[in-house]
Amino acid sequence: MKLLPEILQSAAVIQAIRRDIHAHPELSFEEKRTSDVVAEKLQAWGIAVHRGLGKTGVVGTIEGTQGKGQSIGLRADMDALPLQEHNRFDHASTHDGKMHACGHDGHVAMLLGAAEYLSKHRDFKGTVHFIFQPAEEGGGGAREMIKDGLFDLFPCDAVFGMHNWPGLAVGEFGVTPGPMMASSNEFVITITGKGGHAALPHNSADPVFAAGQMLSALQGIITRNKRPIDAAVLSITQFHAGDASNIIPDSAWIGGTVRTFTHEVLDLIESRLHQIAASVAGAFDCKAEVEFLRNYPPTINHEKETAFAVEVMKDLVGEHRVNPRIDPTMGAEDFAYMLQAKPGCYVFIGNGDGDHRSQGHGLGPCQLHNPCYDFNDELLPLGSSYWVQLAMRYLSR
């Protein structure tokens, strides 16, 4: 691996920043301390700082000394999850019910490492924007930063993102052109009938029975309406009804999630969901009301920028450690909004299998959104070196 020597020398400092952020997690749009840490570091390195986009977002900008040229955006997310940490090592969360269980602390640290290096090596043409984004975990922080003028104030010819990926070995990268992550959507179907005595069901219109039939019928969208070659998931994750064993309730509701890689498949699923809910409920003398919420769009990598990122990764770690056609995931990511606004690429960097965790870690797996997760600090110099090489090569084209 061709890691930059200066970044390797500062690895301990960047690790300390990462672990400090891990110990003080903040939820979406509450990242005040985290954004303070980011802004203070950037300013200490002589980097121009802008704050307040998306409430708590931070943007640092470096102009090269070789004149005007292209501009590139590098993005890291900052927020934690509402999760109680099970780890007991020294840098475990000090805030009950809050935890960096997705590695955003590491993402911030890797981008800070790159910013420090480029602050000392400005002999390039063009501009680098370091985008520290709030509220990735369901808050749509990328969307809010864009609404607040991110790309108007900080024009970017291309924008790039990166996420650690447990199960992918340390030193390896994964990416694919086109859909990289799915859209995230949720729905609630409320079925209203007529309650009554459970021993006399013929006098009622049973919403529980209707909801039960709906569970199977909705899966027909995936198996009978959608083309088999179009990936999609429809999962029922909630079923709520009744308060007593001898009473048929007046209403019941079911809820779940829909994931797709294209808007066309999502349109089909939403339309059929409305039709099936109404028809099945009506067949049992009930009514159905559907709420369908489209959260994040699919994360779709641009082909040209993905090919460029692959070449940078290959030069950094070797061709055998880069998977240029990794399987997309049905997880979602609000970097999708940035890729809708600008060309760019989102990549996975291997976080290993959990052997890196310090003494005192929890017994669970080192998987994303797990209370025993911890970011692998071995990635810090690698991720920072990737960011630097990506920016320098992009601007020198």
How confident is the model at residue 273, as a pLDDT? 98
10-residue stretch averages of pLDDT, the chain, 397 residues long: 95 98 98 98 98 98 97 98 98 98 98 98 97 97 98 98 97 98 98 98 98 97 97 98 98 98 97 98 98 98 98 98 98 98 98 93 96 98 98 95
Q: What is the pLDDT of residues 146-204, one digit of tens each?
A: 999 999 999 999 999 999 999 999 999 999 999 999 999 999 999 999 999 999 999 99
Whole-Å CA distances, 231 to 148, 296, 354: 34, 17, 30
Residues 352-365: pLDDT tens digits?
Answer: 999 999 889 999 99
Domains recognised in the chain with CATH numbers: 5-180+298-395 (3.40.630.10), 184-296 (3.30.70.360)
Q: Which residue type occupies 143?
A: R
What's the pLDDT at 211? 98
Angle at the Cα of 318 (from 317 to 319), degrees rounded to 5?
130
pLDDT at 100: 98
Q: In the prediction, which pLDDT does 397 show?
A: 84
Are the CB atoms for 85 and 171 separated by under 8 Å?
no
Q: How far apart are CA 115 and CA 17, in angstroms?
A: 14
The pLDDT score that the predictor gives to residue 1 is 87
**Helix (H/G/I), strand (E/B), else coil: 71:** strand
pTM of the full predicted structure? 0.95
- Give the phi and the psi of residue 96 in degrees, each rounded to 5: -55, 135
